[in-house]
Structures are given as C-alpha cells and as structure tokens.
C-alpha cells in the first residue's frame, strides 16, 4: 500500500495492509536498522518466517516489508517511544512545568546544568529514576528525564541550598 504524507500515526497503525519498512520508520519515529536487527534475531533455521508471524516484518527480495495488522500490536507493546521532544520555544521554567519524559541532552540545553553533571548524579544513585527522575533507557541507550520527578528534585535541591545560605548569613551578623 502507499503511505500518504498526511496520515497520522494512529491511522497508519489501524491500516490493514503491507507497507515498505522504509516508508513507515519515519512516520513512527523508528530506526530501521533496529527493527531489522530484531526481525533477524527472531528468525531461526527451523522457522525463517518467525519475524513475520511475531512482529509482521520480513524481507521480500531486497525490500523489508511490514504487515501492519501484526506489526501494530508489536509496535505498541515493544517499540513505541514515549519520549517527547523539547519544544525549542520553551525556556527553562516552561520546560520544568511540563509532564512526560524527555532526553537529558535536550533538557540540558534549557537548564543551567550540563549533561555530564546530571548523568554523573544519576549513576551515583541506586534508584535514580525514582529519586531524581533521570535514568538510562535500555532500549535507546540514552539518558531520559521524567520532568515531574526532576522538577521536584530541582526544587528541593534549590530550597535546601537557599535555606543553607540563609542560615549561614544569619550566623554571621
């Protein structure tokens, strides 16, 4: 089937047909090499079409094709990326009041902390996802920020530093 440029993600996943993988990876924000690697890993000598039965992806001649009725549930369960993009128009305050997950590198472009500082902080903690809202995503191999937890951590850190500075000021008249 042909892919319309105006077709949104939900409509694409509801289609019943076969598409070229190269046409849908951009629409679904996927890496084609990653999808092909997963498909090849599912195939065995005994059953070379496992990937087509399980995830709806197979190679026909020189083209990778996707059977959308099988691929859509697989995509929603295993491949869907819930990490959002940071709007370039946002400032640091606007970003901190957003909800959802963002890549740490994109967040650090807007806040006064650099990527290295926050990655180091996350690596030092055992449960950094729950404590400061930063963790390394196993699928993308990149650090991710949960803005709600991160905002709370930033506020408590700044309050603590501000309160400590206030106390030191009051101690020396």
- So where are the chain's domains? 9-79, 83-171
CB-neighbour burial class of residue 132 (10 A; exposed 0-12, middle 13-18, buried 19+):
buried
pLDDT score for 157: 82
Strand partners, 59: 64
pLDDT score for 173: 45
Strand partners, 63: 60
Smallest Cα–Cα separation from 156: which of 136, 137, 133, 127?
A: 133
* Number of Cβ atoms within 10 Å of the Cβ of 122: 20
Mean pLDDT of successive 10-residue stretches along the chain, which has 173 residues: 65 89 88 90 83 92 94 89 88 91 94 92 93 88 93 84 53 48
């Amino acid at each position: 089937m042909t892919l319309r440029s105006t077709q949104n993600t939900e409509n694409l996943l509801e289609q019943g047909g076969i598409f070229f993988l190269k046409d849908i990876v951009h629409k679904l924000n996927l890496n084609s090499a990653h999808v092909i690697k997963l498909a090849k890993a599912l195939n065995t000598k005994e059953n070379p079409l496992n990937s087509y039965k399980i995830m709806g992806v197979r190679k026909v001649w020189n083209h990778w094709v996707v059977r959308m009725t099988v691929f859509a549930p697989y995509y929603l369960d295993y491949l869907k990326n819930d990490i959002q993009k940071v709007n370039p128009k946002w400032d640091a305050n606007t970003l901190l009041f957003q909800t959802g997950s963002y890549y740490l590198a994109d967040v650090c472009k807007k806040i006064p902390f650099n990527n290295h500082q926050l990655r180091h902080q996350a690596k030092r903690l055992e449960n950094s996802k729950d404590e400061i809202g930063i963790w390394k995503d196993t699928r993308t191999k990149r650090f991710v920020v949960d803005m709600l937890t991160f905002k709370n951590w930033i506020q408590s850190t700044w309050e603590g530093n501000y309160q400590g500075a206030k106390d030191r000021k009051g101690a020396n008249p």
